Amino acid sequence: MHPLIISTLGQLPIQALNTRELYRSRPFDKSASLTAEQLGGAYAQRVEDIAPGADYLPVRPVSNTPPSLEELTELVRNNPEQLMESIPNPALMAGNESLYVADIDGNVNPMTSPRAGANIYYNPNVDEVYLAHELGHSASTHTKIGDQVRRIRDALSSNPKLAMALAAAGGIAPLGAAALTPGDDDLDEAILGSLALSSPVLIDEALASKNALAIMEKAGNRASLGQRGKLAGGYLSYLAAPIGTAVLANTVGNQFDQPA
Please name the residues in contact with 227: beta carbons below 8 A apart, sequence gap of 6 or more: 30, 127, 128, 129, 216
Burial, 88: exposed, middle or buried (Cβ in 10 Å; 0-12, 13-18, 19+)? middle
Cα–Cα distance, 32 to 250 (Å, whole number):
42
* pLDDT greater at residue 193 or residue 36: 36
199-218 and 187-197 helices cross at what angle (nearest 10)? 70
Which range, of 16-20, 95-99, 195-199, averages the lowest pLDDT? 195-199
* pLDDT tens figures, 60-117: 999 999 877 676 677 666 666 665 666 678 888 899 999 999 999 999 999 899 999 9
At 157, the pLDDT band (50, 70, 90 cuts) reads confident
Rounded mean pLDDT of 5-23?
58
Rounded mean pLDDT of 175-202?
47
Rounded mean pLDDT of 113-130?
94
* pLDDT tens figures, 222-247: 999 988 888 877 656 665 554 444 44
**In the predicted structure, residue 12 carries a pLDDT above the cut 60:** no
Rounded mean pLDDT of 41-59?
93
Cα–Cα distance, 107 to 86 (Å, whole number):
32
At 159, the pLDDT band (50, 70, 90 cuts) reads low
The stretches of the chain forming alpha helices (DSSP H) are 3-10, 12-22, 32-50, 69-78, 83-86, 90-93, 128-140, 144-158, 160-180, 187-197, 199-218, 225-254
**In the predicted structure, residue 179 carries a pLDDT above the cut 60:** no
Percent of the chain's residues with pLDDT above 90: 37
Question: Domain spans of the chain?
Answer: 3-56+128-254
Which range, of 74-83, 159-168, 209-218, 223-232, averages the lowest pLDDT? 159-168
Choose from 4-8, 15-19, 146-150, 163-167 the range with maximum mean pLDDT: 146-150
pLDDT of residue 182: 44
Q: Which residues are bridge partners to 252 per DSSP?
A: none
